[in-house]
Amino acid sequence: MKNFTVLIADDSDIVIHRLMQILHEPGFDQHLLKATSYGEAVELVKLHQPQVVILDIQLPGKNGIELLNFIRLQYPATKTVVLTNKVNDSYRTLCENMGADHFVDKSSDFEKIPGIIETYISVLNN
């Protein structure tokens, strides 16, 4: 897809850097954006309307749950992947009930992100 955009919203530079590395590997052709706070993420979503937002629950300003809510209300077609260390059942259930498309554990499922993005690219290309 020519204009496929992914926004990574996380307050960890290490996580953002690693995601940008794995999503720039051969076979991936998308525009990557990064935000390190709720406010920055909202502005980038409004400006670029990414097809996918990868977001952490912990964000400066407001949290990722509020970002997920904003995206679901304002940009319901945007796919959302919650990537977090807060993997208890209450967060998972809350995010799923709010419409998160995926809920991924940073510590054990991080490497699943490229496959998830590939799936979205495939669906949007058809």
The pLDDT value recorded for residue 1 is 43
Phi, psi (deg, nearest 5) at residue 96: -65, -40
The residue written with tokens 């799936």 in the block is 119
pLDDT digits (tens, 9 = 90+) for 63-113: 999 999 999 999 999 999 999 888 888 999 999 999 999 999 998 888 899
Q: Is the pTM of this model over 0.85?
A: yes
| CA separation for the pair 45, 86 (Å, rounded) | 23
pLDDT number for residue 126? 65
Residue 110 identity (one-letter amino acid): F
